[in-house]
Structure 1
Amino acid sequence: MNRTIAVLAAGIVAAALVPGVAYAGGPKVTTVASGLDNPRGLAFSLDGDLYVAESGRGGTDGCFAGPEGEACLGSSGAVTKIEHGKHKRVLSGLPSVAAPAGTNALGPTDVVARGGSIAFTIGLGAAPDQRTKLPEAAQGLSTLRSDGYRGLKTVADLGTYEATANPDGGALDTNPTSVIASPWGYTAVDAGGNSLLGVGPTGKVWTIATFADHDGAQAVPTAVAQGPDGALYVGELTGFPFKPGSARVYKVWPGKQPEVFADGFTNIIDVAFDRHGTLYVLEIAKDGLTAGPPAGALIKVGEDGSHETVLDTGLTAPGGLAIKGNAAYISNCGTCAGQGTVVRVPLK
């Protein structure tokens, strides 16, 4: 089975979060950016600017049979910067593949700000050799790239690593979905390859961990965050049949087998820690990806692994999570072309 996060039904319509509205007695939600194309991962820079990876809306450069039907290549991917209540694309023209309507795109999937540069993963959702069957722009798919003082460059080709190393030993499949800065350079998640990867400053890639099937489905890791203890925490989507309650958060120490830190989640798309060291989990579909249009949820995780729902209304296929101060920022409608938003959710 294809092991990507491109499993969402086409034609999702955003359930827009109305600015300044408290939903079902929940927190007052504010929209901080709108009009985005398939927005996914988020990250703050040290100076407080918020970056969001936009997977774009595909294009017309070449089409192929993707996991959810026809997918077409273009250069509509972008990275957007949000500051002082305004947002603008600071990087554009990045690879993107999407359904003909521009939905369910795979392009820039996550971003991290480090020093004077930003780095970002670009997804693919197919076997690595699919890139050779498409126009030249496709070579940027399944890579980790950065933009600094010397311009845009490829830090590492994660698709080639999947093709040559095949960390989990399964069918070749690559879809980088998450990246964070680490002491050795970067740590990235390849959801297609079921792997957690280290990337050094010279582009060397190595396997930190792989994630085994359980509950009759593949793990499909989607997100990584570093905890206050220094360990890596990895959230999983889980593959078909997307059984509710089967997703886990793993705690990973390099050189050791992943341990289950918390479980009972459904289709995790991102994880993040607040300044107090509390873990938050973002579910892309709280009822499971086969239950109709995916309604997301933000969950606070207790030290004992308990769940406290922060928000479970108004989120439609959310794509990413970042926390700053006493607020969570979520990219909403992460599978929508032109209808994606970033919302601010106050935390207790």
Structure 2
Amino acid sequence: MRRLARCRMLLAAAAATTLAGVAAGSSGPVAAADHGRGSGTLDKNAEVEVIAEGLYSPRSLTWGPGGRLLVSETGTPPLTAPSECNMVSEEIVFEMKCFGHTGSVADITNGEPKRIVENLPSALNLQDMIGPNGLAYSQGRLYTLQAGSPQSLPTDAWLSDGLRNKLKPYVGTLLDVTDPKKPRVAARPGAADYEYINENPDPTPDFDVTNPYSLTPKKGGGFYYVDAAANVLGEIDRWGNVEILTSFPLSQAGSDAVPTCVAQGPDRAVYVGELTGHGNTGEEGAKAAKVYRYEPWSGDLEVWQRGFSAITGCGFGKNGDFYVTQFTSTGFLPSPDDDGGSVIQIGRDGTRTELGKGKLFFPHGFLAGPDGSIYVTNKSLWWPPGTTGDWDKGEVVKIG
């Protein structure tokens, strides 16, 4: 399995074992900030509090206008006609099977989800939902990053022309949803990524699926984003132009890894976490994932931190500490003895602290709080298939 469009659907829950500290390189934020732990660093016994529940496959978080707390939801299984849902198992079993418009954005500021944007493109792939993955509020506008690309929509007879025509303008886009009644396409990263992997087959040989997955506002305007199928880091400028900046190595023990989170650091470098591919299990798999550091000014890409399980979220805290959301503790696919996900805090002196152990289940996105606390989407999907028929069990938790 090569990409998240196929493997992310099997993400697992886990509690990561406390990891030995690996200090950041001299060019990273450890060097850029004062050494030491500092104000805002969380203790391993930091409280984990559920602040919102009843969410539909929650993914990313952002602070909206007036400090509102917003979350993207990839939705519930689309209630399309049988002819528009192909659930037949194939050799490649993780291909998208069922399409619809069940994605949304919810305001959870008061603890009760209020869906402020609805009817976003979504798809069911076995037990996982994909749709509006990334979420960002920048320069007074609210944006979602939609999975897929127009080119990779199925052309088989089982997807009706009517549904395909409704989805095609919006899949794989950076969508401005500030006015939920009039969503506007701000950029088309999915289409750009599709063209890139066909023009440059080395990063993704024999693979033509894209999955724009995570984005972060760029200092000065625009966005950085990662595609967890095309395996690239890209930039979207203020006018919607898309540029592919770099691709990530394919090789990983067992199977390829994919980029799943992106954050710009205090040093203006770009940091990217990865989800390891199928086959990265057990003791080695639990330490196979890496965080990369990319320098926009030089084009240099290097491994910044090692030794993580499956990464699905990352970012910097108020005081400059770096956080990694681990979807599992036993790598990917999950082990039967996986006991819940966790968050790894990397202090500015390189010290690692595991947060939320034993209290998280399939954690996903990450958001820093203004008071030094952090927020994580939880119960973002269910595994194994058949575990539950309930799709409204997603949560957001506050740690700190």
Give TM class, smaller chain: 0.7 to 0.9
Q: Does 1:53 align with 2:56?
A: no
Q: 2:266 aligns with which of 225, 228, 234?
A: 228
Q: Determine the C-alpha separation between the residues in 2 that align with 1:228 and 1:198.
A: 18
Give the 5 Å matches for 1:111-260: 111-124=135-148, 128-133=151-156, 134=159, 135=163, 136-139=165-168, 140-148=170-178, 151-166=182-197, 168-170=203-205, 171-182=207-218, 183-216=220-253, 217-242=255-280, 243-254=285-296, 255-260=298-303
Distance apart, 1:68 and its partner CA: 3.1
Q: 2:397 aligns with which of 337, 343, 346?
A: 343
Distance apart, 1:224 and its partner CA: 0.3
Amino acid at match of 1:282: T
Q: Determine the C-alpha separation between the residues in 1 that align with 2:252 and 2:103.
A: 35
Is contact 2:321–2:347 with CA below 8 Å preserved after alignment? yes
Is contact 1:269–1:284 with CA below 8 Å preserved after alignment? yes
* SS in structure 1 of the partner of residue 331 of structure 2: coil
2:85 match: 63
Is contact 2:150–2:191 with CA below 8 Å preserved after alignment? no
TM-score (norm 2): 0.76
2:358 match: 313
Is contact 1:128–1:174 with CA below 8 Å preserved after alignment? no
Q: Determine the C-alpha separation between the residues in 1 that align with 2:62 and 2:176.
A: 14
Q: Determine the C-alpha separation between the residues in 2 that align with 1:70 and 1:179.
A: 22
Amino acid at match of 2:48: V
Decide whether aligned partners of structure 1 residues 105 and 185 sit closer, same or farther in structure 2, where only a CA change above 3 A counts. Answer: same
Moved more, 175-184 or 304-313: 304-313
Decide whether aligned partners of structure 1 residues 95 and 233 sit closer, same or farther in structure 2, where only a CA change above 3 A counts. Answer: same
Q: Determine the C-alpha separation between the residues in 2 that align with 1:94 and 1:226.
A: 27
Q: Determine the C-alpha separation between the residues in 2 that align with 1:210 and 1:13.
A: 27
Amino acid at match of 1:56: G
2:119 match: 93
Q: 2:61 aligns with which of 18, 42, 59?
A: 42
Amino acid at match of 1:249: V
Aligned identity (percent) is: 28
CA RMSD of aligned residues (A): 2.7
Amino acid at match of 1:49: R
Give 1 or 2 for the bigger CA radius of gyration.
2
Decide whether aligned partners of structure 1 residues 273 and 11 sit closer, same or farther in structure 2, where only a CA change above 3 A counts. Answer: closer
Decide whether aligned partners of structure 1 residues 127 and 258 sit closer, same or farther in structure 2, where only a CA change above 3 A counts. Answer: farther
1:18 match: none
Q: Determine the C-alpha separation between the residues in 2 that align with 1:6 and 1:302.
A: 33
Is contact 1:52–1:110 with CA below 8 Å preserved after alignment? no
Distance apart, 1:127 and its partner CA: 9.2
Is contact 1:287–1:294 with CA below 8 Å preserved after alignment? no
Is contact 1:54–1:79 with CA below 8 Å preserved after alignment? yes
2:51 match: 32
Distance apart, 1:148 and its partner CA: 2.8
Moved more, 274-283 or 302-311: 302-311
Q: Determine the C-alpha separation between the residues in 2 that align with 1:223 and 1:275.
A: 18
Q: 1:80 aligns with which of 106, 111, 115?
A: 106
Bigger share in helix: 2
Q: Determine the C-alpha separation between the residues in 1 that align with 2:223 and 2:96.
A: 32
* SS in structure 2 of the partner of residue 162 of structure 1: helix
Amino acid at match of 2:134: D
Distance apart, 1:42 and its partner CA: 0.8
Structure 2 gap segments, 5+ residues each = 16-43, 383-390
